[in-house]
Structure 1
Amino acid sequence: MTAIHAQPHTQRVRRRAERRPEPESRPGYREPGSRRAARALRGGGALRDALTLALLPLPLLALAVAATPLAFTGGGTRRWFGGRNESARADAQAAKDAAAAAFYELDTAQRDLRISIETISAVDSSPGAQRTAQQFAALGRRIDEASHTYITAVDAHDLERDDLDAGDASHARTELGKAKDELVRVKGELDRFQQGLGPLLDKAETQLARLAPAVERARQGLLAASNALDAVRAAGLRADDLAARLAALAPELTKLNQGAGQHGVPETLARAEHVQRDAEAVRAEAVRLPERAAEIDKRLVSLRTRAQALTTRAGKVDPVLSELRRRFTAACWQDLQQVPDQATENVRLAEERLKEAAQARAEQRWPDATSLLSTVRALLNGTDEAVSAAGDRLQRLNAVARDPQQEIQRTRFAIRDAQRLAMAGRNTPDPRHARPLDDAVARLEHATAALEGRHPDYWHFLTETEAVRRTVARVVSEIREERGAGA
């Protein structure tokens, strides 16, 4: 029960109910007359006295009773009140016992329900859960009022005192009965309130059921990450960045250990998932670190070899450019003029970055080493494409100069195939498709006519035919998409 009542009163009521002596052992207890009379006849002397009294004439019997009160009081000194007072006392005591039972039933039910409300409040912060907590608080005030009425009634009536008469006992019975009825009524309200908590309580218990496993998984994840780092260090690798990331999770672990009671269940669940996810990432990278170090060593060797090979290939670009200048117009080779110098510069920069990457590897700065190697790879890829472009240009120009018809027929076939597709199932082509195909035909004819001059621009011819084929391919793709959508 809540603490609005004086605790000594509550404790006194509980002690009385729990350790109430048997009626015969209570101080001042007076047995009913019939029981005392029966007990008085148990011994031989008592039997003789009773028989003697029975044989006396009535006047003498009255004098004998007045002269020997101890024979009817069992030898005690208490006043005998008679059956009516004792019956009223017993009824009041029964009412008191019934009220005590109702009090303890209500107290137990409230304690159990408070656990459920605290569970819901810890997990659920929704308006519905907040209203439930407010309703329970209001119900608790009514419980306090009923409990106060009961305790006041118990303290107001001492059913064990000697001079308790039938009127006092009847009054006590009435007040204790009213207190019991109020306790039962409030207990009914409490039961009905508890029946409506099912959905909220189920949701809260589901969340709580997830809580302990989630926190345990987070702790195990941190332990696994720590063990993986220890193994990496034992292999001679520092993994300082991973150690720093793992150390950053220490405050989160502290909050997990403080529990959901301090930080809330939803927040603790989210924190546990975050810790587990980050710890697993650290563990996975730590496990892969020896492989990563070996991969960096391998890439260092491979990129050094490739840089050396590109240095050799770049030296062959000048003879290619010389032949292009000698045999073809300037438009066919002007964009390649800077390839030799650019290739030399790129290779030089790549070699410098390789040295920096090797230093980062030696210092076990793994992210820096990886980034530098990516830069080296990009430089060498660009240089490789530029050096290859010069050789590819010469090869393609030689082929078209020998036989331009092969390129022309290839382009015309692509246009005719697109035209047949555009006419399939139609009497006239869609203008959206016919117009770009007609333009493609015109461009091909213009590029072919340009080859008839004294110094044909073969590179322009090749770029035009490639552009025409790209346009035709786009039209074909649009036609197929439209027909596919219509199907």
Structure 2
Amino acid sequence: MAASEARGRAASATSERTGARGGVSVLRVGLALPLLVVALLPQAFAGGGTRRWFGGRGEGQRAEAQAAKDAAAASFYELDTAQRGLRISIETITAVDGSPEARRAVENFEALGRRIDEVSLAYITAVDAHDLDRDELDAATASRARGELTRAKEELDRVRGELERFEQGLGPLLATAENQLARLAPAAERARQALREASAALDAVREAGLRADDLAARLASLGPELTRLNEGAGRHGVPDTLQRADRILRDAEAVRAEAERLPQRAAEIDKRLVSLRTRAEALTTRAGAVEPVLSELRRRYSLACWQDLQHVPEQAAGTVRQAEERLREATTAREEQRWPDATAILSTVRALLDATDEAVSAAGDRLRRLDAVAKDPRAEIERARFAVRDAQRLAMEGRTTPDPRHARPLDEAVARLDRAVAGLEGRHPDYWHFLTELEAVRASAARVVGLIREERGAGQQH
């Protein structure tokens, strides 16, 4: 009998097991009644045929063989039931997990299946080899049947033990697979709900007179993904379906959020247009005041103090004109509801105006700083010397001699400070050079302080 036939007889084994047990009690009643009749009527069957009955040891062997058959049938049924349940677990894992560990589990299950087929075939062969209800069954045959059926049961039980141990080892894989399967339906429903909410948000925006064409296009691009999601995990697999659901959810929620924010975004763009237009007008007025400041610088200070500023007026005027042109482009984009374009253009306008503001302010700041240092340079000198002395004290803390890496830049800063102060003794001192030199001295001292603190902080951590 083929191994596949063993699987086909699993259901009949149950009824056979139940019927066999019933057969034992019927046989015993059937045997007891004729014996009683023979005892009472010794001549009743003298003229006819007689049945060969085995009493004593023969009937005991038949009963033991039948009991072994019942026990083997129960083991066969339990093994088959366990295998069917485990097959469901394996199918659950393979539907979700394509890892090498999952593939090894499938291979091991198939190997166990071949072993189950072998012991099942041995059991059915033993059952088919012996008719325990046959009248001519002798004690030796019954004993042999009992032994074969007992061995078949032991093999069935042993393989079932292997199956149970294998099933226990599948615990982590199965738990992961079941968790993903449990996520599948809720994840798909969340994705569909997110799409519905995004569509509703777009409808509300359109009712408010905003087109939101880019958002509508993004939402429409999710249509094919929704189709694949609806086709289900049976076609696309559980992992891909879960990833698709998460992707649809994320993209749809982004569309919904942007749609809900769109009225506010439009209002912000309108506000920025007004603000930047006002700022451009103010800068035009301020740029016109730069030329008088430059005249004052030229009259009172040397060329080096103002030559880098002489092109500020025309540059400021050109930049403001460019900003105003871009503002008109932003207004057109706003009217056409090209929101990303409008936002990008306004950012460019702001950068242009920031640069212009800085250039226009530079002239006035330069004049104020030069006037202050020309009147009394001592404040700037003291600021620079204080920064150097503070760095020197820090460099000498806990040391008898400074680290050359700290001492060298501080010594150079002192020399640079002295040269800058000496440069003020001429007839037409370059006050702007003096100020930039002192800024460089303070920056050098600050770098040394930062280096020292960084090194000490690292030492404390170790």
Same fold flag (TM > 0.5): yes
Distance 1:165 1:484 in 2: 98
2:94 to 114, 117, 121: 121
- Residue-by-residue CA offset, 1:454-486 (whole Å, 9 max, x unaligned): 322222222122222222222233333334444
1:301 is the counterpart of 2:274: yes
Residue from 16, 32, 40 that aligns with 1:34: 32
The offset of 1:382, in angstroms, is: 0.7
> Is the 1:9–1:155 contact (alpha carbons within 8 Å) kept by the matching residues of 2?
no
Alpha carbons of structure 1 residues 79 and 13: separation in structure 2 relative to 1, 3 Å? farther
SS in 1 for 2:425: coil
| Structure 1 position 97 matched with structure 2 position 70 | yes
Say whether 1:335 aligns with 2:333: no
- Cα RMSD between the aligned structures? 3.6
Matches of 2:101 and 2:179, distance apart in 1: 17
Is residue 32–residue 86 contact of structure 1 (8 Å, CA) maintained in 2?
Answer: no
Q: What is the number of residues matched between the two proteins?
A: 456
**C-alpha distance in 2, partners of 1:174/1:416?**
105
1:135 aligned residue? 108
Cα displacement (A) at 1:310: 1.0
Q: Distance in 2 between matches of 1:402 and 1:33?
A: 139
Task: Name the CA shift for 1:425/1:195 in 2 (closer, same or farther; >3 Å).
Answer: closer
1:139 Cα shift?
A: 0.9
Give the TM-score normalised by the residue count of structure 1: 0.80
Match of 1:314 among 287, 290, 309: 287
Is the contact made by 1:10 and 1:151 (CA closer than 8 Å) also made in structure 2?
no
> Where in structure 2 are the equivalents of 1:19-418 lying within 5 Å?
32-36=30-34, 62=43, 65-66=45-46, 80-83=51-54, 93-155=66-128, 165-166=137-138, 170=142, 175-260=148-233, 262-418=235-391
> 1:30 touches 1:80 (CA, 8 Å); kept in 2?
no
- Letter of the 2:203 counterpart: D
CA distance in 2, matches of 1:290, 1:338: 43
Change (3 A) 1:101 1:335: same
Aligned counterparts of 2:35 and 2:360: Cα–Cα separation in 1: 132
Q: What amino acid maps onto 2:324 in structure 1?
A: E
Partner in structure 2 of residue 5 of structure 1: 5
Could you tell me whether the CA contact under 8 Å between 2:424 and 2:430 is conserved in 1? yes
Percent identical: 68
Unaligned runs of 5+ in 2: none
Which letter maps to 1:329?
S
Matched with 2:438 is 465
SS in structure 2 at match of 1:238:
coil
Moved more, 2-11 or 326-335: 2-11
Larger-gyration structure (1/2):
1
Q: Which moved further from structure 2: 185-194 or 253-262?
A: 253-262
Q: CA–CA distance in 2 between the matches of 1:8 and 1:203?
A: 32
Q: 1:192 to 1:478 in 2, by over 3 A?
A: closer
TM-score (structure 2 length as normaliser):
0.84
Aligned twin of 1:73: none
- In structure 2, the CA distance between the partners of 1:452 and 1:23, relative to structure 1 (3 Å rule), is closer
Cα distance in 1, alignment partners of residues 255 and 80 from structure 2: 52
1:195 CA displacement? 3.4
- Distance in 1 between residues matched to 2:165 and 2:21, nearest whole Å: 36
For the residues of structure 2 that align with 1:34 and 1:210, how far apart are their CA atoms? 64
Name the stretch that deviates more: 454-463 or 349-358.
Answer: 454-463
Give 1:393 shift: 1.5
Structure 2 CA distance for partners of 1:6 and 1:416, relative to 1, 3 Å: closer
Q: Over residues 225-261 of structure 1, what are the superposed CA-to-partner deviations in whole Å (9 max), with x where a residue is unaligned?
A: 3333333233222222223333333444444444445
Quickly say closer, same or farther: Cα 1:484–1:168, change in 2 above 3 A.
Answer: closer
SS in structure 2 at match of 1:451: helix
Structure 1: runs of 5+ lacking an equivalent: 42-49, 54-60, 70-77
Contact 1:95 1:176 in 2 (8 A): yes
- Answering whether residue 429 of structure 2 is matched by residue 429 of structure 1, we say no
1:72 equivalent in structure 2: none
Once residues 190 and 403 of structure 1 are traced to their aligned partners in structure 2, the CA distance between those partners, rounded to angstroms, is 97
Q: Indicate if the aligned counterparts of 2:126 and 2:152 stay in contact, CA closer than 8 A.
A: yes
1:262 Cα deviation after fit:
4.7
Inter-CA distance 117–455: structure 2 relative to 1 (3 Å threshold): same
- Distance, in Å, in 1 between the alignment partners of 2:156 and 2:120 is 7
Which deviations, in whole Å up to 9, do the C-alpha atoms of 1:276-304 show, x marking residues without a partner?
33333333222222211111111011111
* Cα 1:221/1:3, change in 2 over 3 Å: farther
C-alpha distance in 2, partners of 1:165/1:285?
A: 87
User: 1:122: Cα distance to partner?
Assistant: 3.7
Counterpart residue identity of residue 291, structure 1: Q
Residue-by-residue CA offset, 1:345-374 (whole Å, 9 max, x unaligned):
111111111111112112221111110110
